[in-house]
Structure 1
Amino acid sequence: MSAEFLAAVGGIPDRAVGLVAHAARDVRVEPVAVRAPGPDEAVVEVAYGGICGSDLHYWQHGAAGVSILREPMLLGHEIVGTVRRAATDGSGPTTGTPVAVHPARPHPGDGTQRYPADRPNISPAGTYLGSAAHHPHTQGGFARYLTIEAHMLRPLPAGLSLRTAALAEPAGVAWHAVSRAGEVRGRSALVIGAGPIGALVVAVLRRAGAAEITVVDLHQPPLDRARALGATRILLASDRAAVRTVQPDVTIESSGSPHGLAAAIENTARGGRVVMLGLLPPGDQPVPVSTAIARELELVGSFRFIDEIGHVLRALADGSLDVEAVITHEYPVDDALTALATAADPVRSGKVLLTFDPALAPSRAGPPR
């Protein structure tokens, strides 16, 4: 199918503005090709994209952990928009449907690495939009028009705005982490790190009925946002004596730092569970494993999500999951470099959104309308 045919049937251009990482500190707003879709693919007109920590790492370091840029890569995996051309094989949402994108493509690889079939998020050769884990890289979704497999699209429930739905992917990560914590209703929980993911963990814990939600962070503004989302107690990490008094049933480590994981192990009640959500740097980490053994703590990992994004969309639509306080800034894609710099400052910002439709751009770059 040619780009000319695409334009003829849907008014879709063969090129669109996108945000491309070329190397460390070399991210450009530039035209990118709009790939002609196959029979099982749709074309989505992207409305909003949320900046994730991995996007920041590619911008700042040219790598996210061991995933190193080796070629230009379109960033972005927190994507919502509207289907402008449905898949011709009849699969997926119809034209005009507002959708969120599930950015994962599970893959078992060569079969030498076993994994549970009901946990595709940990499939050994799976890909994720906007990731340099494989070569060629998996191109992301920060572009005005995105050609994507129809099975990766999730229709929005009636009444749910695209702007709110822009948090569906990171909220799916938080939802999965809380599910890894086990039953939290009526129990006490500690969240270490109140960045966007930690803040969303607070919102999900609140919805799940946690009786006490204590949040620890290095800075006061993220803690204030956590309070607005349902935290019952907020503590600065520097107040170690106060943190030691928490002794939660469950701790969700969201900071992605060795110090955060050490604090989780040292302060969780004996026999409790620590969910390791924050992605630590590669290699060995100095954490007190002997303490975890002596206290019979359960240490469990949490990686991305399975299909919790569906639960999230329904909870956002019915109002039982309130995430509004997470969004602190919106910028048009033309101001993406400013948006990245803002998102990299945890004191100034929570979740920073990019708008790709000029009609949605805020009247001035910066805090949301």
Structure 2
Amino acid sequence: MTSTPARPAMRAVVAHGAGDLRLEERPIPAPGPGEVAVDIRYGGICGSDLHYWRHGAVGEFRLREPLILGHEIVGRVREAGPGTSVAPGTPVAVHPLVSCGKCRQCLAGRRNTCLDTGYLGSAARHPHVQGGFADVLVVPAERVLPLPEGLDLRLAAVAEPAAVAWHGVRQAGDVRGKRVLVTGAGPIGCLVVAALRAAGAGEIVVTDVFEEPLAVAKAVGATSVVRVGGAADLDEIADLAADLAIESSGNPAGLRTCVYGVDRGATVVGLGLLPPGDTPLPANAVITRELRLVGSFRFDTELGEVLQALADGRLPVDPVITSVLPAARTSEAFELASDPARSCKVLLDFADPGAA
């Protein structure tokens, strides 16, 4: 097949250790049998990318070698390897999950909880699974999803975190007409709001410690917001008696707010990853109020559903994208993405300089 004209090298965003983030040149990879090469256009900066940059680790997963970051990526097929049929130029999203396909979780249709899972841009395995913040990424052909007609790449760039949110809402069960509490109005929390709205939630109350992300939450469908920071705010949440809650902040205080913000017999979904180690939990309240505590981790087949929902307008996520910076300004983009008072979702643009 005809391929895109080769460049001498590609750019890649590489974490070498805590505080050591570099935009460096790497050889351009070529696809092998059953693989495709994708010219990456946009990459969304995730909380895990920020942790590798700031701390050299995400939870227990520490950098042991240089790691190309990034798993929220979209682009166009550059070249198809032997045995593949995806046409060059096809706009695609990339599914970041690397699963074994043979453990009991995979065989049960739960690839997101695979016993030997990997993820693009993750140090969970060694050698690490290199990520997609690069001009070109090679992946198995089955992990690229052609975009629905009419869906532009910029909007599709939020499909991966939106799929995380979509899966979290699915874990909550039937949300139609229900009052829902969402703690944390970061990118995932705001995408949870959009997914709840698409799923028919009746009332969506969102909490955060900053005004700016709460404004984004309202723009994507929150019916009311609460800026938390004092006892009076927590009293307001305790009187909410929500039918269910989704914890999206990754903060133990957010989980506590969920436990006391729902009605008796309600469901609490833990979505935001908490700090490593044991987390204090008001277990007696969970027991005596007969709450159901459910976990939600990544996603599997939801990515295709989300792409379609983005294409047909059911997921109004455009307000979540607050900045798009060229890859040449990677350091600035990471600084911006780490400040919730100035940004929600920040995208890196890997288009060649001067490209449309």
TM-score by length of 2: 0.96
Aligned residue number for residue 110 of structure 2: 119
From the superposition, tell whether residues 115 and 156 of structure 1 become closer, same or farther in structure 2 (CA, over 3 Å). closer
Matched, 1:141 2:135: no
What are the residue-to-residue correspondences of 1:13-28 with 2, within 5 Å?
13=7, 15-28=9-22
Aligned residue number for residue 234 of structure 1: 225
Alpha-carbon contact 1:108-1:125 (below 8 Å) kept:
no
Identical residues among aligned pairs (%): 52
Please report how far the alpha carbon of residue 101 of structure 1 lies from its aligned counterpart in structure 2 after TM superposition: 0.6
Aligned residue number for residue 93 of structure 2: 100
Q: Which amino acid aligns with 1:341?
A: E
Matched, 1:166 2:157: yes
Aligned residue number for residue 367 of structure 1: none
Alpha-carbon contact 1:108-1:124 (below 8 Å) kept:
no
Please report how far the alpha carbon of residue 246 of structure 1 lies from its aligned counterpart in structure 2 after TM superposition: 1.4
Residues in 2 aligned to 1:360 and 1:307: alpha-carbon distance in whole angstroms: 36
Residues in 2 aligned to 1:14 and 1:192: alpha-carbon distance in whole angstroms: 47
Please report how far the alpha carbon of residue 360 of structure 1 lies from its aligned counterpart in structure 2 after TM superposition: 7.5
Of 327, 335, 338 in structure 2, the residue corresponding to residue 333 of structure 1 is 327
Which whole-Å deviations, capped at 9, do the CAs of 1:73-127 have from their partners, x for residues lacking one? 1000000000011232025x22110000100011267x5x767621110001111
Alpha-carbon contact 1:14-1:35 (below 8 Å) kept:
no
From the superposition, tell whether residues 208 and 236 of structure 1 become closer, same or farther in structure 2 (CA, over 3 Å). same
Q: Which amino acid aligns with 1:157?
A: P
- Secondary structure of the residue aligned to 1:271 is strand
Please report how far the alpha carbon of residue 225 of structure 1 lies from its aligned counterpart in structure 2 after TM superposition: 0.6
Q: Which amino acid aligns with 1:16?
A: M
Give 5+ residue unaligned stretches, structure 1: 1-5, 363-369
Please report how far the alpha carbon of residue 32 of structure 1 lies from its aligned counterpart in structure 2 after TM superposition: 1.6
From the superposition, tell whether residues 23 and 38 of structure 1 become closer, same or farther in structure 2 (CA, over 3 Å). same
Q: Which amino acid aligns with 2:92?
A: V
Of 313, 318, 341 in structure 2, the residue corresponding to residue 319 of structure 1 is 313
Alpha-carbon contact 1:49-1:353 (below 8 Å) kept:
yes
Matched, 1:153 2:144: yes
From the superposition, tell whether residues 333 and 114 of structure 1 become closer, same or farther in structure 2 (CA, over 3 Å). closer
Which whole-Å deviations, capped at 9, do the CAs of 1:24-69 have from their partners, x for residues lacking one? 0000001122222111111100100000000000000000111100
- Secondary structure of the residue aligned to 1:216 is strand
Please report how far the alpha carbon of residue 9 of structure 1 lies from its aligned counterpart in structure 2 after TM superposition: 4.3
Give RMSD over aligned pairs: 1.7
Matched, 1:176 2:159: no
Matched pairs, number: 353
Of 339, 343, 351 in structure 2, the residue corresponding to residue 357 of structure 1 is 351
Matched, 1:69 2:63: yes
Q: Which amino acid aligns with 1:158?
A: E
Aligned residue number for residue 366 of structure 1: none
Please report how far the alpha carbon of residue 240 of structure 1 lies from its aligned counterpart in structure 2 after TM superposition: 1.4
- Deviates most, 240-249 or 271-280: 240-249
Alpha-carbon contact 1:171-1:197 (below 8 Å) kept:
yes
Please report how far the alpha carbon of residue 285 of structure 1 lies from its aligned counterpart in structure 2 after TM superposition: 0.7
- Secondary structure of the residue aligned to 1:143 is coil
Matched, 1:303 2:294: no
Residues in 2 aligned to 1:59 and 1:340: alpha-carbon distance in whole angstroms: 8
Q: Which amino acid aligns with 1:31?
A: E
From the superposition, tell whether residues 115 and 143 of structure 1 become closer, same or farther in structure 2 (CA, over 3 Å). closer
